[in-house]
Structure 1
Amino acid sequence: MTERKNERRGLGRGLSALMAEVGADIGFAGGGSEPAAPVERQGIQSVPIEALRPNPDQPRRHFDASRLSELEESIREKGIIQPLIVRPDPDGPGKFEIVAGERRWRAAQNARLHEVPVIVKNFSDSEVLEIAIVENIQRAELSPIEEAFGYKQLMERFGHTQEKIAEALGKSRSYIANLLRLLNLPDEVRAMLESGDLSVGHARALITAPDPVALARKVIEGGLTVRQAESLARKIHEPRKPQSTAAPREKDADTKVLEDDLSANLGMSVVIDHRAGGEGQVIIRYKTLDQLDQLCQLLSQVR
């Protein structure tokens, strides 16, 4: 119960502080898999490879076989230069859970190493997940769906908001929001995205489509660009307008001025339909999901 309460308090020591602590130990800079040369560091110990187990909340679900093979060859040649970060495994004495470095652990097994260098840290569940997500994101090895799932875990399990995650990771809130929307896609479309048949831009255009799977197939079969996919999705949404024989009502000057002011301030097309009796409607047209996200932020600030 205490651990769960602590998880809900926020980012704890702060994500930047956590990564600085890890970086000081392993030379982490978000770049390649191994630093250029070994560095003498204190606190490193060797443990049997079978004493380690992967983090069950690791956001990455797929490991590229060719990259893993390259890392295996590097380990055969030079050994493991960059130690793994682990924490004590509560399920067994002398056992450890991997916080950062699961690829190195897998490659070391393939290279038939008996022991690996580690640094032991006492991280909480929240800190372990945060480090795993950031390590993978900075190494550009997560798929968009895996990255989105990692953000979802941070929100649902640890109570972080999109704003807090964006601030901690140096991302925009719209970037986080747009990735999370990908999780609303059907499994078949997610698979197309993970395989590279669809780009993130394509997938975002399909999110609100009535039949994303059918539209995704059309996009792939036709080799459509993102703009073409967005246009196709809009056509599906736009109902056919009935032919009207009535002459359009003339708007008064004040309404036109108000439309122009709102359009200029929002950067989007605004139409005001003011009717007799004081009722009416305001229509705001957006062209991209980024504009919609911007509009949602503006509306959420209105009290």
Structure 2
Amino acid sequence: MKPSQFAKGFKARPDTTSSEKRTALDRLNAIDGIVSSEHAGQPHVNGRSSALIEDQPAVQEGPESDNYKTWRRANRYVPGQSIELPLKAIKPSPFNPRHFYLKTSIAELAVNLAKQGQQQAIHVIPDYDNPGTFFVSDGGRRVRALKEANKETVKAIVIDLPVGIESYKLGYDLNVQRDSQTVFDNAVVWKRFLDEAHFQSQRELADHLGLDESTIAVALSIAKLPESVMHEMVARPDRFGSNMAYQVTRYHTARGTDATLRLINKIVSDDLSTRQVADIVKGRASAQETPKPAGRQRYAQRLEIKLDGIAVGDLKSYGDDRLELRLRGLSKEKRDELLRQIEGMLQSGAAKR
């Protein structure tokens, strides 16, 4: 099968389970059955003219649901077109794969949208029971940032997809491909799926999502954590993947919230490994005095990095010859700009030598 345009360059976080990586990539290869890169003419919806956005995915022509066909004809909508919709008409999907949205990330994106405008359309699904409103299928972060930027409209592509597990799968796979889906999102959402009886057991949930049952079990264990504790880890996906979060969950079960928050701070400040935290959980080491394994180098200096007054990462120095830069929550534009600047500095330095 020819890989989907979304599947090209697929790269998940190292801590993402092999089951999640494999299954998400398999489904991404099939997403072209739902979205494609073909665009047609300019439609009107609710009296608003469309504004095309380059290189945006659109729905392929093919069998349509009766509801979508009726809505499309009533609104003279051509599948795959980007149109302007009122932000107040957009609402979260009950099957949104994301639960946590970092305020710092939303704030930075809002600044970017205020300056450059919306470059990428979101995907929405009509709420047929409440005409004139739409569920977000993909683009919840952009919707939140547009509201924070005091915008009144959003550019969107209306897709023919039932709001349910299928729309969840699509959003989940796109988030995994972008490296923005976290184990904490999975924990909260999967627990809700079971609590609301969308699935009768974690085995059924695992089978339906095409994941290993152990992946589901770890996430459901993490779901027992208070959200206040999860929030402290969500902001550092580079440090708190499923394995580390599971060890923190075990520690929380034994020691409670306050001690767990102190442990999380120590994990970040001392750059503890999952094995070190596991030793703390098992009582082999103290959370106050954790021995460093041989060969693990402690950084000499740490500089917190801020953009527009918001902390986005740090720069650490080790010994006389090593620097480590970690940034998070950046927009694609800001990330690419920083990469170009760093490459320019390195090339300039090489030329002088």
Higher helix share: 1
Distance apart, 1:59 and its partner CA: 3.8
Match of 1:216 in 2: 260
Amino acid at match of 1:199: F
Q: Mark the runs of 5 or more structure 1 residues left unpaired by the alignment.
A: 1-13, 28-35, 237-303
* Alignment partner, residue 183 of structure 1: 223
Match of 1:199 in 2: 240
Residue 60 of structure 1 contacts residue 146 of structure 1 at CA under 8 Å; is this kept in 2?
Answer: yes
How many Å separate the matches in 2 of 1:69 and 1:217?
A: 25
1:49/1:116 contact within 8 Å kept: no
Maintained 8 Å contact 2:93/2:163: no
- Identify the residue that residue 148 of structure 1 maps to in structure 2: 187
Q: Which residue of 2 aligns with 1:55?
A: 93
Return the offset for 1:147.
2.0
Partner of 2:36: 24
Match of 1:229 in 2: 277
Is the Cα contact below 8 Å between 2:109 and 2:142 reproduced in 1? yes
Aligned to 2:288: none
Partner of 1:88: 126
Deviation sequence 1:64-104 (CA, Å, 0-9, x none): 34443554455456654433222222442222222212223
Q: How far apart in 2 are the matches of 1:206 and 1:77?
A: 40
How far apart, in 2, do the equivalents of 1:105 and 1:170 lie?
A: 29
> Counterpart of 1:129 in structure 2: which amino acid?
Y
Query: 2: distance between equivalents of 1:116 and 1:64?
Result: 22
What's the CA shift string for 1:21-62, capped at 9, x where partnerless? 4442699xxxxxxxx943595522433332222224434233
For residues 17 and 199 of structure 1, what CA distance do their matches in structure 2 show?
A: 28
Once the 2 structures are TM-superposed, how far is the Cα of residue 217 of structure 1 from its aligned partner? 5.0
Q: Matched residues in 2 for 1:165 and 1:87: separation? A: 24
TM-score, reference length from structure 2: 0.47
1:18 deviation in Å?
Answer: 7.3
Structure 2 match to 1:282: none
Task: State whether residues 99 and 189 of structure 2, in contact with CA within 8 Å, keep that contact through their aligned partners in structure 1.
Answer: no
1:99-138 equivalence runs, <5 A: 99-109=137-147, 110=149, 112-138=151-177
Whether contact under 8 Å (2:126, 2:133) holds in the other structure is: yes
User: Which residue is 2:55 aligned to?
Assistant: 38
**Deviation of the 1:182 alpha carbon:** 0.8
Contact 1:47 1:117 in 2 (8 A): yes
- The number of aligned residues is 215
Residue 214 of structure 1: how far off its partner (Å): 5.9
User: Equivalent residue for 2:43?
Assistant: none
Return the alpha-carbon distance in structure 1 between the equivalents of residues 227 and 87 of structure 2: 35
- Structure with higher Rg: it is 1
Evaluate the alpha carbon distance shift between residue 78 and residue 104 of structure 1 in structure 2; reply closer, same or farther with a 3 A threshold. same
Runs of 5+ unmatched residues, structure 2: 1-25, 40-52, 59-77, 285-353
Report the equivalent of 1:274: none
Given the superposition, is the C-alpha separation of residues 95 and 37 from structure 1 closer, same or farther in structure 2, using an over 3 Å criterion? closer
Conservation of the 8 A alpha-carbon contact between 2:191 and 2:223 = no
Q: Give the TM-score taking structure 1 as reference length.
A: 0.54
Aligned sequence identity (%): 20
Secondary structure of 2:254's match? coil
**CA shift in 2, pair 1:25/1:122, >3 Å:** farther
* RMSD, aligned CA: 4.1
